[in-house]
Amino acid sequence: MRIIRARRISYTFSICMLLLLAMASAFHLTRVFDAATFVVNTTADTEDANPGNGICQDSSGNCSLRAAIMEANAFAGNDVITLPAGTYTLTITGQNEQSSLTGDLDITSNIVINGAGSTATVVQAGVTEGSGIDRVFDIRESSIAEIKNLKIRHGLINSTGGGLRVEATGVVGLTLFNVDISDNGATGASGGGVSIASMATGSLVTIDSSRIGDNISTGTRGGGIINFSPNGELHLINSTVIGNLLNSTGAAGGGGIGVRSQSSTTIINTNITFNAVSTSSVTEDTYGGGISLIEQSLVSLSGGSVSNNGVKSNGSNSGYAGGIHNQDATLSITNSTVGSNSSATVYGGVRTSGFNSPATTTITSSVIENNSARDAGAGVANSASGATAVTTIVNSLIRNNTFTDTFAEGGGLFNRSSGANSATTNITNSTISGHAFDWNSECDDCCTHIHNFSIGLTNFDMMLYSGTGVKYSILYYQRNKFTCICRIWKYGECGCILCM
């Protein structure tokens, strides 16, 4: 009986071990099919011979970048593509195809593409700038993609996103790390470098430690980046947006970055510099050489700078805000510098405009300096027409902003309402000084340091708003427990109405 019982125990143990081994084997197989790694071994642009079989292999037995993406798209799981140093040129022509068979590289699954560095690994849509057969990457469907350590260049498309586009009906995630997106073009459409398109509702795109530079768009928004994903988010971190151009035939905004359609953009420790907006139209205007935000979108800028950007005018049109233009949206600037931006006509640094919807700008612990404009609002401008506009300045320095027109208005601060809606500027613990065309001769002690709508007062709680029309503004502020009410006329003349 003991022998039989021992044999039963041994048999049961063996069955259990077999079951455990089977489960372990099944688990191992599941892990294998959940995540595959493909190592690219050719720079040629070739198709995968049998997508979905788990093997990256073209008709010659090599694993190309296109073949690896095709296999990863068909192969379930979170797949990794290793892309060694080299230049990978797309050569298979055919746009508007969504399976990566031709044209751009369509990503429809969860994929990580890891290069050898942004100068060592180059993925390009053409050998030279302007010769691209398509954009380079198209992030589609409900994919979660991560692209690291490579350069994306020479994309060219008569649509949005010259270098890379995010477009899908579902939620899409994309992370770019140490990626250089440069020398791409979108003709007749927005986003010369990157487009986060309107179909990608709720998408999250993170661009970290990257460069978006020297791209061009001939559309309406975003020479470098356009974010118009409704309720979507763009996080731009530790990066540089430089040398991008928005060159339109009509109204245009956002030489570096354009934000619209209730989308959200968070910019942290990023420099936005030497971007520009121009138009060939003699009647349409240009906006926001560095950043343009419209349509109830949201931009938060923390750290870094917006500098040396510009807007150009042509004929009778105007260039608005060389640095940042906020129309009908919400802007927050914290611990940042907006400097040395220029406008061919009005508003050099930051302009807030309530046009169709309320606009709000908050500037905290920041410096707005050395910006220039021809006519008005060289530093900070706040204006209301079809809706209210509110600018709040806290613990900040507005200094050394200049004009080119002798009879310009608002060297440091310009505030105006051209209709029934109010334009309000609140200033706390800030200094606004050192601007062109100081004019004190007509002012008594109550209005000392009023410079063409710029206010050179320090550590006072103030509110500046305009009366009906454009002839004068009213300044309320507290000084040594006195409340001063001043009327500031155009070109700097001011008079004290009441001190009490």
Give the C-alpha separation, 437 to 270, whole Å. Answer: 33
Give the C-alpha separation, 326 to 298, whole Å. Answer: 9
Provide mean pLDDT across the span 233-258.
95
Give the C-alpha separation, 275 to 257, whole Å. Answer: 9
Provide mean pLDDT across the span 239-258.
95
How confident is the model at residue 489, as a pLDDT? 43
How confident is the model at residue 367, as a pLDDT? 98
Average predicted confidence (pLDDT) for the chain: 82
> Is residue 459 scored above 70 in pLDDT?
no
Beta bridge partners, 181, equal: 152, 212
> Is residue 4 scored above 70 in pLDDT?
no
> Is residue 6 scored above 90 in pLDDT?
no
Provide mean pLDDT across the span 53-59.
95
pLDDT in tens, 222-231: 999 999 988 7
Give the C-alpha separation, 455 to 435, whole Å. Answer: 10
Question: Exposed, middle or buried by CB within 10 Å (0-12, 13-18, 19+), for 494?
Answer: buried
Contact call for residues 100 and 73 (beta carbons, < 8 A): yes
pLDDT in tens, 266-314: 999 999 999 999 988 878 899 999 999 999 999 999 999 999 999 988 7
Amino acid at 94: G
Distances (CA, A) of 469 to 385, 408, 472: 10, 17, 8
Which band of pLDDT confidence, cut at 50, 70 and 90, is reported for residue 2?
very low
Which band of pLDDT confidence, cut at 50, 70 and 90, is reported for residue 477?
very low
pTM of the model: 0.84
